[in-house]
Chains A and B, each alone.
Chain A
Amino acid sequence: MSTLTEAPPPLAPAPERKPPRRRGRLVPYWLLLPGILWLLVFFALPMVYQASTSVQTGSLEEGYQVTWHLATYWDALTEYWPQFLRSVLYAGCATVLCLILGYPLAYLIAFRAGRWRNVVLILVIAPFFTSFLIRTLAWKTILADGGPVVGALNSLGVLDVTNWLGLTAGDRVLATPLAVICGLTYNFLPFMILPLYASLERIDQRLHEAAGDLYATPFTTFRRVTFPLSMPGVVSGTLLTFIPASGDYVNADLLGSTDTRMIGNVIQTQFLRVLDYPTAAALSFILMAAILIMVTVYIRKAGTEDLV
């Protein structure tokens, strides 16, 4: 570079001048390096390791060997498909409940909260200041047998409906599917609210005025303008809720029973108690593949790539 400044070509417009800072072009790669290293060490390597584990056979005493025993996948699937199904079902219910509860709240924060907006947003995030485990344990108390919540649900006849749906059993809520779904909904609600809020908040308020000006009632304005424009938030919110919820095991563990075991519980047990590493790894991969397929189909159907 110093030669360039010492001997500039006199009067030449220098059309073929070399890029003066070659190192500058590499800067983005240097900036990417820490992240790539992180992903390599903590994502790619464990994935390869797990993939290899899933096709090994052997025992803890004799050691494991890669034998390309793909039957583990089939065995895992045939044995644990009820837990897979249950996971998708519970996570799906929790996601729908999160959407139903979260959308009005996000809407209020984005359009009606005024100067209280930040306060309410902090309140949404506030539960994160407490441990996930403690919060879930608190639900054990909330839903305790004979407690005020269960009593109220019982006298309102809600339990009759949920009993009929098979979500609860008798006078109990704890240790039923409903308890697990409630726990999942509660724990993942902020992951629904925040993306919904972010995408609602971006909507130009003048579009609402324009819709009203063009004979749309407030409800039609919501249906034709606000909701379609908030689709990116709906999609990312449901994904951020559904994906972790379907792999969750804490809620089923603390609030459920042996009848509400989700696939996360199975994987946890296989890894930590049964010590059947190949089956645990195979289950993890099946779960991952299932989620990937469902998410791809969902995004295609939601058609959010059309939105600006």
Chain B
Amino acid sequence: MMTQDAGGDVRLSGISKKYGSFTAVHPLDLTVPQGSFFALLGASGCGKTTTLRMIAGLEEPSSGSVSLGDHDVTALPPYKRPVNTVFQSYALFPHLDIYENVAFGLRRRGIKSVKKQVDTMLELVQLGEQARKKPHQLSGGQQQRVAVARALINHPKVLLLDEPLGALDLKLRRQMQLELKRIQTEVGITFIHVTHDQEEAMTMADTVAVMNGGRVEQLGSPADLYENPQSTFVANFLGTSNLIEAEVDTKTGDDIVLKAGGGKLTLPGARCSAPTVTGGKVLVGIRPEKIALVHADDAGEIPAGRNRITGRIADSSFIGVSTQYVIDSPVCPEFEVYAQNVDRDLRLVPGTEVVLHWSPAHTFGLDAAQSLLAGTTGDAGIQAVGEEAA
């Protein structure tokens, strides 16, 4: 049923949602290819759930259209759309047992003999034994699987998941992430997954759309988003980034040479999403794990051609697999470095003068007109997000 027509892509064209004067979702174009695991990632209030609800038909878009394959479903009520939702709170029917909850969609479509399908589906989510229990008798993780089974049994064109793992504890969440990924691979249905957990989005999805203030900031594969963020929001929201304000000095071939705090940094032109003019400002970004850290006395051993900056260790925390350092540097007050604990240099204690160096290929460049803190989780970050949304 799910693979009957080839053009099963979900297409949103110019879709937007306004509540009074507040715009929850700005006009948005998005295509989710059939069979993909797609994640909408963003902080709360970024419009990701509203977008999902517009696809489900639970929210009427203020403009634009929703298409499933070749069919424009914008005007269809939810019960006529071939999509199903796994709700954040699961929304299982408390008066029906697990079996009837799962059979609900089939029965509403007038299918009489549901037993085989329900049994198969309960088997898929490993709840065959619990069929005659009521939802409140199950644990959170089991309820979550019922919610998935209840939606999947209808073989929807698209399965919409609204923060389905939000209510579970960390360990169960990791387990369910793998479980959902396994089910998705097994049934081949398009999954659109809404989450605020960047790790969840990155582990599960093929494609992630990072949303902020009702807009999609960037769309791409998890690795692409992580390695080549196009905005400070994405750089900070997905993992941690060190951002340095720098001035364009010269352009030599494919590389851009920048001045920052008296030193020079090299940035491949292809990895810079901002326009560069000599004398203009650019934000230089580098991920903490890409940086090597050496004692100032050993600075001579650093190979040529690497970006380097100097600083002093302000803080270090040993977390087993790595040590996380916070470096005070003239170019950036709180520079973060994650060093693998392979050969620990015992001289690297707080107060030590150090040199940081990394390959220019790992550097990325961003438009300097943005807030440095967008997408961070501190107060300042949320404020910055709020400003962007306004």
Contact of A207 among B80, B93, B151 (CB under 8 A): B93
- Contact residues on A (Cβ < 8 Å of other chain), bracket: 20 to 34
Contact of A216 among B56, B87, B108, B134 (CB under 8 A): B108
Q: Report Cα–Cα, A214/B134, bound state, in Å.
A: 19
Instruction: Judge if A240 is at the interface, Cβ distance under 8 Å.
Output: no
Question: Which A residues touch B87, using CB under 8 A?
Answer: 206, 209-210
A215 touches B94 (CB 8 A): no
Contact of A213 among B58, B95, B109 (CB under 8 A): B58
Question: Which A residues touch B57, using CB under 8 A?
Answer: 212-213
- Least distance between A37 CB and chain B CB atoms (Å): 38
A214 touches B95 (CB 8 A): no
Instruction: Judge if A166 is at the interface, Cβ distance under 8 Å.
Output: no
Instruction: Judge if B310 is at the interface, Cβ distance under 8 Å.
Output: no
Tell me which residues from 7 to 41 in chain B have a Cβ below 8 Å from any Cβ of chain A: none
Kindly report which residue of chain B lies nearest to residue A215, judged by CB atoms: B108
Instruction: Judge if A305 is at the interface, Cβ distance under 8 Å.
Output: no
Question: Which A residues touch B85, using CB under 8 A?
Answer: 209-210, 213
Question: Which B residues touch A215, using CB under 8 A?
Answer: 79-80, 105, 108-109, 154
Given contacts A214-B150, A220-B108, contact A225 B79 (CB under 8 A): no
B105 touches A212 (CB 8 A): no
Kindly report which residue of chain A lies nearest to residue B58, judged by CB atoms: A209
Question: Which B residues touch A308, using CB under 8 A?
Answer: 94-95, 134, 136
Tell me which residues from 153 to 172 in chain B have a Cβ below 8 Å from any Cβ of chain A: 154
Question: Which B residues touch A127, using CB under 8 A?
Answer: none
Q: Report Cα–Cα, A229/B79, bound state, in Å.
A: 20
Question: Which A residues touch B77, using CB under 8 A?
Answer: 212
Question: Which B residues touch A216, using CB under 8 A?
Answer: 79, 104, 108
Contact of A206 among B91, B108, B151 (CB under 8 A): B91
Q: Report Cα–Cα, A216/B91, bound state, in Å.
A: 14
B94 touches A213 (CB 8 A): no
B91 touches A210 (CB 8 A): yes
Instruction: Judge if B140 is at the interface, Cβ distance under 8 Å.
Output: no
Question: Which B residues touch A61, using CB under 8 A?
Answer: none
Question: Which A residues touch B89, using CB under 8 A?
Answer: 204, 206
Instruction: Judge if B276 is at the interface, Cβ distance under 8 Å.
Output: no
Q: Report Cα–Cα, A122/B346, bound state, in Å.
A: 75
- Least distance between A84 CB and chain B CB atoms (Å): 36
- Least distance between A205 CB and chain B CB atoms (Å): 9
- Least distance between B147 CB and chain A CB atoms (Å): 9
B93 touches A210 (CB 8 A): yes
Question: Which B residues touch A211, using CB under 8 A?
Answer: 93, 104
Instruction: Judge if B231 is at the interface, Cβ distance under 8 Å.
Output: no
- Least distance between B233 CB and chain A CB atoms (Å): 30
A212 touches B79 (CB 8 A): yes
Q: Interface residue count for B (Cβ, 8 Å)? A: 26
Question: Which A residues touch B74, using CB under 8 A?
Answer: none
Kindly report which residue of chain A lies nearest to residue B147, judged by CB atoms: A210
Tell me which residues from 74 to 101 in chain B have a Cβ below 8 Å from any Cβ of chain A: 77-80, 83-85, 87, 89, 91-95
Q: Report Cα–Cα, A214/B56, bound state, in Å.
A: 11
Tell me which residues from 173 to 215 in chain A have a Cβ below 8 Å from any Cβ of chain B: 204, 206-207, 209-215
Q: Report Cα–Cα, A220/B134, bound state, in Å.
A: 21
B78 touches A213 (CB 8 A): yes
Instruction: Judge if A307 is at the interface, Cβ distance under 8 Å.
Output: yes
Instruction: Judge if A306 is at the interface, Cβ distance under 8 Å.
Output: yes
A214 touches B154 (CB 8 A): yes
Quick one: which of B57, B83, B93 has the most chain A CB within 10 A? B93
- Least distance between B189 CB and chain A CB atoms (Å): 15
Instruction: Judge if A228 is at the interface, Cβ distance under 8 Å.
Output: yes
Q: Report Cα–Cα, A225/B109, bound state, in Å.
A: 16
Instruction: Judge if A118 is at the interface, Cβ distance under 8 Å.
Output: no
A213 touches B93 (CB 8 A): no
Kindly report which residue of chain A lies nearest to residue B92, judged by CB atoms: A210
B95 touches A228 (CB 8 A): yes
Kindly report which residue of chain A lies nearest to residue B78, judged by CB atoms: A212
Contact of A229 among B56, B58, B94, B105 (CB under 8 A): B94
Q: Report Cα–Cα, A217/B109, bound state, in Å.
A: 10
B84 touches A213 (CB 8 A): yes
Kindly report which residue of chain A lies nearest to residue B153, judged by CB atoms: A214
Contact of A214 among B58, B94, B105, B136 (CB under 8 A): B105
Contact of B104 among A209, A214, A229, A307 (CB under 8 A): A214
Kindly report which residue of chain A lies nearest to residue B56, judged by CB atoms: A213
Q: Report Cα–Cα, A220/B79, bound state, in Å.
A: 11
Question: Which B residues touch A207, using CB under 8 A?
Answer: 91, 93-94
Question: Which A residues touch B150, using CB under 8 A?
Answer: 214
By Cβ-Cβ distance, the 6 closest A-B pairs, closest first, are A210-B91, A214-B105, A215-B108, A206-B91, A212-B78, A213-B85
Q: Mark A residues whose CB is within 8 Å of B.
A: 204, 206-207, 209-217, 220, 224-225, 228-229, 306-308
Other A-B pairs beyond A212-B58, A216-B108, 10, CB < 8 Å: A211-B104, A213-B57, A213-B78, A213-B79, A214-B84, A214-B151, A214-B154, A224-B108, A306-B95, A308-B136
Give 26 CB contacts A-B under 8 Å: A204-B89, A206-B87, A206-B89, A210-B85, A210-B87, A211-B93, A211-B104, A212-B78, A213-B56, A213-B79, A213-B83, A213-B84, A214-B79, A214-B84, A214-B104, A214-B105, A214-B154, A215-B79, A215-B80, A215-B105, A216-B108, A217-B79, A220-B108, A306-B95, A307-B94, A307-B95
